[in-house]
Amino acid sequence: DQQVKQNSPSLSVQEGRISILNCDYTNSMFDYFLWYKKYPAEGPTFLISISSIKDKNEDGRFTVFLNKSAKHLSLHIVPSQPGDSAVYFCAAKPTGGGNKLTFGTGTQLKVEL
Amino acid sequence: DAGVIQSPRHEVTEMGQEVTLRCKPISGHNSLFWYRQTMMRGLELLIYFNNNVPIDDSGMPEDRFSAKMPNASFSTLKIQPSEPRDSAVYFCASSPGTGLETQYFGPGTRLLVL
Q: What is the pLDDT of residues A76-106, one digit of tens each?
A: 999 999 999 999 999 999 887 677 899 999 9
Q: Which residues of chain B have pLDDT under 70?
A: 1, 98
pLDDT at A33: 95
CA B3 – CA B106 distance, rounded (Å): 7
Which residues are B18's β-sheet partners? none
pLDDT at B47: 96
pLDDT at A78: 98
- Yes or no, beta carbons of B108 and A43 under 8 Å apart: yes
Query: Any chain A CB within 8 A of the CB of B10?
Result: no
Q: B8 preceded by cis ω (within 30°)?
A: yes
- Yes or no, beta carbons of A106 and B50 under 8 Å apart: no
CA B30 – CA B48 distance, rounded (Å): 11
pLDDT at B40: 84
Tell me the shortest Cα–Cα distance from A110 to chain B, in angstroms: 17
3-state secondary structure of A82: helix
CA A35 – CA A33 distance, rounded (Å): 7
Q: Which of B13, B9, B21, B7 is nearest to B113 (CA)?
A: B13
pLDDT at B98: 67
CA A73 – CA B107 distance, rounded (Å): 27
- Yes or no, beta carbons of B95 and A44 under 8 Å apart: no
* Residues in chain B within 8 Å Cβ distance of A102: 45
- Yes or no, beta carbons of B100 and A93 under 8 Å apart: yes
Could you tell me if B49 and B72 are in contact, meaning their C-beta atoms sit under 8 angstroms apart?
A: no
Q: What is the pLDDT of residues A50-80, one digit of tens each?
A: 999 999 999 999 999 999 999 999 999 999 9
The pair phi, psi for residue A17, each rounded to 5°, is -90, 175
DSSP string, chain B: ----EEE-SEEEE-TT--EEEEEEPPTT--EEEEEEEETTTEEEEEEEEETTEEEE-TT--STTEEEEEEETTEEEEEESS--GGG-EEEEEEEESSSSSPPPEE---EEEEE-
Tell me the shortest Cα–Cα distance from A100 to chain B, in angstroms: 8
Q: Where are the alpha helices (DSSP H) in chain A?
A: none
Query: Any chain A CB within 8 A of the CB of B50?
Result: yes
pLDDT at B1: 63
Spacing of C-alpha A85 from chain mean position: 14
pLDDT at B61: 86
Burial class of B45 by CB neighbour count within 10 A (0 to 12, 13 to 18, 19+): buried
